[in-house]
Structure 1
């Protein structure tokens, strides 16, 4: 049950392949992330009703591909700040645990959200107090499924759940599940709105993640925020969980 990820301040624009992590390398996106980092100390946590701590995710921008000289088939991507815990409708977060979604239950429990996919940019993730990173220290992408609802003021609110898979490598020594990390070369395939969220994609995404999942290493204990005011404190702000879980 992964409920915490993070991004390094000023160092999130380079991926584990040494290439720019699009769109985090853009000037506007850098400014947005800098503001988020200052308020959250780089820690993405489950969104609290009162704290309303939204976290960065990456989605395909619209349905059209961006035509660029470097890669005419590359998807145009956008940075959004989203609520970590799925909302099915405008009434609020669902009552069951909806911050993690098992890859083997995407079609059964998350079929609608599986059609609207995102990437969570991360420098690390935390499981049972242990911080996991990629050996390069670069930013990697975690698969997510999303739902967009309309708030009372008419604005759109993007909500998401992190996709998990069976743990392998060092991660398996801590928990039997881990985030579904997607290699950079497959980000577009995961994000592509023209690709239906179906059984083939669910199976393929786990296969894509195999080498990268094995590469994740335990880098030490979870990093602590410098000031308590920047940290979402579990039971004080976290959405209550019912016994029924879907992760």
Structure 2
């Protein structure tokens, strides 16, 4: 599953939105610059490392700080919630009611049993969007946040020997539909087909510094 991911402020904008809003891209760069050197981790009970996600707000593409993983009854969920299997969404499409794009320039997984971190991406500096489902959640002090879970699918053959799952990557041409279409079984099926069109572009490499989860890249 997606253990960690990074956002390099030197990114290009070609793979995120068909008509990327300048304010969205500027916001992403500012956030990435401010957080350089920090790991994107599930937000703990005493931490609030909110991460930027792209959402549709009344027809407007908007950047919003969000909590990685779900909050339930005022605290992080007891069940694993930073990732959601695409198969589960196909079986229970009700979870697709609200969605987001998670901007990234790569993600990290540990290959076992070697315990070597690897990074996955679509080329140095290439910005892309990972599919996510969202819901609202509150902390113990009553503050409400948008929470997100990255949608995961089986990895293609050339990546599966490192890790058997990967995020559902959303091509530029499908981004608007992912954010705005009715959340049903057809939507996740179409998202998986769209994501498969990017498989050949995804590359993976071992981390020589063994710091796959210690900093953004």
Give the shorter-chain TM-score range. Answer: 0.7 to 0.9
Once the two structures are superposed, residues 35-58 of structure 1 have per-residue CA deviations (whole angstroms, 9 ceiling, x without a partner) of 454235364222122232111111
TM-score in terms of structure 1 length:
0.73
**CA displacement, residues 151-193 of structure 1 (integer Å, 9 cap, x when unaligned):** 566653011100001101432121111110010110000000x
In structure 1, list runs of 5 or more residues that go unmatched. 65-75, 232-247
For 1:79 and 1:190, how far apart are their aligned partners in 2?
15
Q: TM-score, normalised by structure 2?
A: 0.82
Count of residues paired in the alignment: 209
Deviations 1:103-153 (A, max 9, x none): 1101546x4541100000010011111101103631011000001134566
Query: Any conservation in 2 of the 1:37–1:43 contact (CA below 8 Å)?
Result: no
Structure 2: distance between partners of 1:20 and 1:207: 18
Q: 1:51 aligns with which of 42, 47, 51?
A: 47
Whether 1:218 aligns to 2:204 is yes
The secondary structure found in structure 2 opposite 1:95 is coil
Name the structure where strand makes up a greater proportion of residues.
2
User: Hey, what does 1:135 align to over in structure 2?
Assistant: 123
Q: Which residue of 1 aligns with 2:11?
A: 12
Instruction: Report 1 or 2 for greater relative contact order, CA contacts < 8 Å, sequence distance ≥ 6.
Output: 2
Q: CA RMSD, aligned part only? A: 2.9
1:206 aligns to 2:192 (yes or no) = yes
Q: Structure 2: how far apart are the matches of 1:16 and 1:219?
A: 20
Mark the runs of 5 or more structure 2 residues left unpaired by the alignment.
111-116
Tell whether the 8 Å contact from 1:21 to 1:139 is kept in structure 2 after alignment: no
**Residue aligning to 1:234:** none
Partner of 2:87: 104
Is the 8 Å Cα contact of residues 12 and 139 (structure 1) preserved in structure 2?
yes
Say which SS state the counterpart of residue 79 (structure 1) adopts. strand
CA displacement at 1:12 relative to structure 2: 3.2
Q: How far off is 1:7 after superposition? A: 0.8
What's 1:237 paired with? none
Q: 1:123 aligns with which of 105, 110, 116?
A: 105
